[in-house]
Structure 1
Amino acid sequence: MLLTTFFNALVYWICRPFMRAGPFQVFGNLTASYIDFCYATFYKLITNSQKETEKLIASAVKNGTGKGKIAIVTGANSGIGYDTAKVLGQVGYHTILACRNLELGEQALTQLTEETGRENFELMSLNLASFESINKFVEEFKERHGSLHLLVNNGGVCMCPYSTTAEGLELQFGTNYVGHFVLTNALLDVLRRSGPSKIVNLSSLASYMNAGIDRELVTDKSKYNQSRAYYNSKLALVLFAATLARKLEGTGITANSINPGYVATNIFQHIGLSAKIQNMLFANTVMGSLTTLAVVLDQQYANTTGQYFVRCQPTYAHPSANSIKEQDELWGFTEELIAKHSDRRSYGTFL
């Protein structure tokens, strides 16, 4: 839809002049967020998310998109991850729910089986805030499965009070980005030999809100700001996808990042938005999963890589994502963090 293309671009070009303009950045962020929210509300009214999902399912089943393939969805026990996993299972993927809370994961597994009538869902334990847990997950996955065709890096935390991962990294950056960095790198060998395969990182409009990756937010507790730390982690996921697309060119692996929009999920628990208010203001999780599903299932995006998607369309990513220098600086910084906080050799190849 041309109107969606226009508003996706408008939000970016409102943010763009202010991204690195010091105190004026807040003005750009607020203005862009307001416009994006207004259009998101309109988009929600004119888009039948269930119907669009059914179209994607029908096309994918017809094309055999998921037949005989394996997918991992992190944070799949609820919200966007749950609805993403549900559709992937419906189109034939053997879908692994990679969840921290196994009790909720078991409930999700049972519910998915009942709702779809399918047995191609599997629950595995994964805590993205623990390198040990990630390492164990990867080992168990490779023991059980010889291929992997889709990795959806969906799980995460949002604007929580200062805390750290098991290894001592700032929690939001450590969970949302570094955890997925370690997981993805450790699974690249399987993704390569299973190609064509896909990696999808769930980011956010928040990726526009910082001037660039702020290392001090990660390394200096006194500089912690729960909103800016969240922005930092979501921007890092966009850069990560862009870097993977560049480094993996020619391997049969595509990597993209997406903004699912304003979605009513439990990720907002730390900022006091009740479920009732969220349900009034935001889209449901079926709509929240649409952009991920479009990237994975829509044939027009079968070979698309290195893009940032909003409302099922590629649009402008933060300028840092287009800078090889900034991509490589983030990659190096991430490797330094991992080396400092763990025995790096135990957690993947890191290209």
Structure 2
Amino acid sequence: MGSNLSFPEVEIPPERTYIVTGGNTGIGYYIAKEISRMGGHVIIACRNMSKAETAIQQMQEEYEKEFKEKQAKLSETERTEPRRLNIEKMELDLASFEKTMRFIEEFKARNCPLHVLILNAGIHVHNKEMTEDSYEMMLQSNYLSNLLIILHFLPLLQTSGEDCRIVQTTSAGYRFGKLDTNNINAQQSFSSITNYGNSKLFQIMSMHWLTRHVKDKSVTITSCHPGYVKTQMTQGYSFGRAMAAFSRNGYEGATTIIKAATDPSYKGETGVYFSDCKISSTTSYPKNIERQDELMTYSFQVLDKYLPRDIKQYIDM
């Protein structure tokens, strides 16, 4: 895996709650499994509840197998029994604002604290597709719906205790993107790579904007590039096949996100970009304040009817 791809083994209190979107497969699967293995309360949020249940069962089985293999090296008096991983599932479809709001309201109704929000779910489509809300599929699923979740959960994160974090799984593919409000919704043209890059670029730009405009700075927000990870999503593309020899597996891809979400040494680090399990730098493009303002003006207009009524109490707009 490489010595640079690792995260510290920390003991997470069982009352510390993590949401992992897309936690039933790929990178998200390993994020959820490892954080729950370290003791955290994990909620995986995804579209297919049957697949989510299967994933939870598989995580438990893998954990128990790995636990017993370690126990076998100990004396009989030192051995203990494996515990039940504290993992739940919730339904979330990022391609629908209505269904995203349903997830948001259902979580709020739990009256449960939220300590870390890991926005990992994402898609990469070959051809232009529009959502039921009439937005380009990757724009809405990878960016707009994630932003909506952040805006609703910020007050909850701010009141859940110390060291609350928002962690976004982004991509170095942001370099292929650009902000063009005349074509932001693929009104004029569509390119699979460019539009995917746009959605990841906008994640990073919104991170910088929020870092500046959120009134309570106690909640940190970071963006993580997991490296090129071999998944079902990427294998249908010619560049995916070409990159296969250099790709990481799901666990390796998850390490950077897990470290950003759990490493105590990163407490208070906000508005930063992680790559290869360390803070890295981006190009100057997403750091441009005028572009950030232009993007967020558009984003707030799109999300207007779904925004929290009291949003101006915690964000300078």
TM-score range, shorter chain: 0.7 to 0.9
The residue number in structure 1 matching 2:171 is 204
The residue number in structure 1 matching 2:85 is 119
The reply to whether residue 322 of structure 1 matches residue 287 of structure 2 is: yes
| Kept in 2: contact 1:109–1:121 (CA 8 A) | yes
Task: Give the SS at the match of 1:71.
Answer: strand
Cα pair distance change 1:347/1:176, threshold 3 Å = farther
Residues of 2 paired with 1:318 and 1:194: CA distance?
34
Where do residues 5-44 of structure 1 align in structure 2 (5 Å cutoff)? 44=1
| Kept in 2: contact 1:217–1:225 (CA 8 A) | no
The reply to whether residue 334 of structure 1 matches residue 281 of structure 2 is: no
The residue number in structure 1 matching 2:66 is none
The reply to whether residue 237 of structure 1 matches residue 184 of structure 2 is: no
Aligned-residue Cα RMSD (Å) equals: 2.3
Report the structure, 1 or 2, having the larger helix content. 1
Task: Give the SS at the match of 2:168.
Answer: strand
Task: Figure out how many residues of one structure are paired with residues of the other and give that number.
Answer: 293
1:267-296 residue CA offsets vs partner (Å, 9 max, x unmatched):
215526788x77644111111011111112
Cα pair distance change 1:279/1:135, threshold 3 Å = same
Residues of 2 paired with 1:170 and 1:330: CA distance?
16
Where do residues 219-230 of structure 1 align in structure 2 (5 Å cutoff)? 219-230=185-196
Which structure 2 segments of 5+ residues have no match? Answer: 64-82
- Cα drift, residue 324 of structure 1: 2.2
| Kept in 2: contact 1:159–1:270 (CA 8 A) | no
Give the TM-score taking structure 2 as reference length: 0.85
The reply to whether residue 349 of structure 1 matches residue 311 of structure 2 is: yes
1:183-235 residue CA offsets vs partner (Å, 9 max, x unmatched):
1111112111114310011111111223x323233334331111100010010
Residues of 2 paired with 1:156 and 1:304: CA distance?
24
Residues of 2 paired with 1:145 and 1:79: CA distance?
29
The reply to whether residue 73 of structure 1 matches residue 29 of structure 2 is: no
| Kept in 2: contact 1:135–1:346 (CA 8 A) | no
| Kept in 2: contact 1:214–1:232 (CA 8 A) | no
For residue 267 of structure 2, what is the amino acid of its counterpart? A
Cα pair distance change 1:173/1:274, threshold 3 Å = closer
Q: Aligned match of 2:278 in 294, 313, 317?
A: 313
The reply to whether residue 256 of structure 1 matches residue 222 of structure 2 is: yes
Task: Give the SS at the match of 1:106.
Answer: helix
Cα pair distance change 1:267/1:313, threshold 3 Å = same
Give the TM-score taking structure 1 as reference length: 0.77
| Kept in 2: contact 1:159–1:271 (CA 8 A) | no
Residues of 2 paired with 1:85 and 1:250: CA distance?
28
- Cα drift, residue 299 of structure 1: 2.3
Cα pair distance change 1:306/1:222, threshold 3 Å = same
Task: Give the SS at the match of 2:133.
Answer: coil
Q: Aligned match of 2:47 in 82, 100, 104?
A: 100
Where do residues 160-199 of structure 1 align in structure 2 (5 Å cutoff)? 160-195=126-161, 196-199=163-166
The residue number in structure 1 matching 2:269 is 304
| Kept in 1: contact 2:152–2:307 (CA 8 A) | no
| Kept in 1: contact 2:114–2:157 (CA 8 A) | yes
* Percentage of identical aligned residues: 30
For residue 206 of structure 1, what is the amino acid of its counterpart? G
Task: Give the SS at the match of 1:147.
Answer: coil
Which structure 1 segments of 5+ residues have no match? Answer: 1-43
The residue number in structure 2 matching 1:84 is 31
Residues of 2 paired with 1:274 and 1:238: CA distance?
23
| Kept in 2: contact 1:185–1:348 (CA 8 A) | no
For residue 316 of structure 1, what is the amino acid of its counterpart? S
For residue 289 of structure 1, what is the amino acid of its counterpart? A
1:286-340 residue CA offsets vs partner (Å, 9 max, x unmatched):
110111111122222111100011101112123233222222211111112224x
Q: Aligned match of 1:147 in 100, 113, 123?
A: 113
Residues of 2 paired with 1:348 and 1:100: CA distance?
29
Q: Aligned match of 2:256 in 291, 294, 309?
A: 291
